[in-house]
Amino acid sequence: METKRVTVSAVEELIGLYFPVLDHGFIGVRDYMGSDASIEGAARGSYAYGNRQKTDQRQLLRYLTRHRHTSPTEFVEVVVHCAMPIAVARQWIRHRTASVSELSGRYSLMPMLFYTPTDEQIKRQSKSNKQGREGELPKSVVWEWTHDLDQSRDSTSRLYEWATENDIARELARIDLPLSTYTVWTWKIDLHNLFHALSLRCDLHAQWETRQYFNVLAGIAKRLAPISFEAWEDYHFYAKTFSRMEMQIIREFLRQPEGFNGLEFGLPKTEAGEFLAKFDEPTYQNFDLDLTQAKPAEFFENKFREAAEG
């Protein structure tokens, strides 16, 4: 189709392709609006008269990001079609400034597809990060659990199918489905709110399963507005914020640079650890999408329809 709108060929390329996520999920771009050029245009409007423009696009976009002038990034939008375990959907939906149209378990049959973690992902309750996972479990525990999960989903999905076949209302029949059941939605978000969501959900402390989805979303954002994305990486994602107290220590050290080792500057113990950790090299993440992993939209559409309608 012909359009006079701003067009981004690196995203055009994605339309019609779906990226697999976890064992049954996917993300595919449905629609988008804007680009780095739209952000630039919205920003330049605010100082249109009586100023000589000196900055180039890249300089301007990085300035905006660095100084948190985020309004212009709201003019870029992306729409994705996604399938994810309900447990993931429950975290995802907390990003309120977005639009969602979800498969309804009241109207529709739910697909009998359930998320099973791979053995490598099944870990201990983390001691340091009280909400995460960390550390090897005995193989026997892993195997017994995944075996029990399999059995549990078997009986759960048989019960769901029995109930819907016996005409029990779908809104009731679904209440016994586990949080690992896949749901499907169309999701729309603007780039400002997407960057905010990525900062939280691509973080290594986010739940691993949810992170797999947001890594793909990051890859999409990187193609949609590459200069703004790089600026987000440089000034937000890989940036470090030092508290008022930490800044005093750094300033002190700059005057008397004899090492941070004997850190007895009065920070509480937890914060002293966090302070030092800020100087570690971050774990850089590669947000590039691997297009060879993507499949045509129909592949997933058929899979989910079959899983729902049997």
The reply on whether position 297 binds its own copies by CB under 8 A is no
Q: How far is the CB of 293 from its own copies (least distance, A)?
A: 20
**CA 133, 138, 139, 144 torsion: positive or negative?**
negative
For the chain, how many residues are written?
A: 310
Q: Binding its own copies by CB under 8 A: which of 27, 113, 180, 202?
A: 180
Q: How far is the CB of 36 from its own copies (least distance, A)?
A: 13
Answer yes or no: are the C-beta atoms of 193 and 95 closer than 8 Å: yes
Residue 270 or residue 292: which is nearer to its own copies going by CB? 270
Site map (CB under 8 A) of its own copies, residues 67-96, x = contact: -x--xx-xx-x-x-x---xxx-xx--xx-x
Cα dist from 190 to 1, 168, 193, 200, 224, whole Å: 24, 40, 6, 16, 11
Q: How far is the CB of 166 from its own copies (least distance, A)?
A: 5
Supply 18's token pair. Answer: 């779906």
Q: How far is the CB of 219 from its own copies (least distance, A)?
A: 18
Site map (CB under 8 A) of its own copies, residues 108-147, x = contact: xxxx---x-x---xxxxxx---xxxxx--x---x---x--
How many residues contact its own copies, by CB under 8 A? Answer: 137
DSSP per position, 202-229: SSTTS-HHHHHHHHHHHHHHHHHSHHHH
| Catalytic residue chosen out of the listed positions 62, 201, 211, 223 | 201
The footprint of its own copies on residues 44-63 (CB under 8 A) is 45-51, 59, 63
DSSP per position, 39-51: HHHHHHGGG-SS-
Supply 258's token pair. Answer: 């004899």
Q: Binding its own copies by CB under 8 A: which of 19, 21, 36, 41?
A: 41
Site map (CB under 8 A) of its own copies, residues 187-216, x = contact: -x-x---------x------x---------
> Which residue, chain included where needed, has tokens 């060929």?
9
Looking at residue 282, the DSSP 8-state letter turns out to be P
Residue 122 or residue 216: which is nearer to its own copies going by CB? 122
Q: In what order do the strands lie in the sheet with 17-21?
A: 99-102, 182-190, 77-85, 25-33, 17-21, 295-296
Q: Cα(179)–Cα(280) distance, rounded to whole angstroms?
A: 36
Q: Binding its own copies by CB under 8 A: which of 18, 26, 32, 287?
A: 32
Q: Which amino acid is it at 11?
A: V
Looking at residue 111, the DSSP 8-state letter turns out to be P
Residue 25 or residue 72: which is nearer to its own copies going by CB? 72
Answer yes or no: are the C-beta atoms of 8 and 224 closer than 8 Å: yes
Residue 244 or residue 290: which is nearer to its own copies going by CB? 244
Q: How far is the CB of 148 from its own copies (least distance, A)?
A: 5
The footprint of its own copies on residues 147-176 (CB under 8 A) is 148-149, 152-153, 155-156, 159, 162-164, 166-172, 174-176
* Residue 94 annotated as catalytic: no
Q: Binding its own copies by CB under 8 A: which of 263, 274, 285, 295?
A: 274
φ/ψ (deg, to 5) at 289: -80, 140
Residues annotated as catalytic (active site), given as ranges: 201
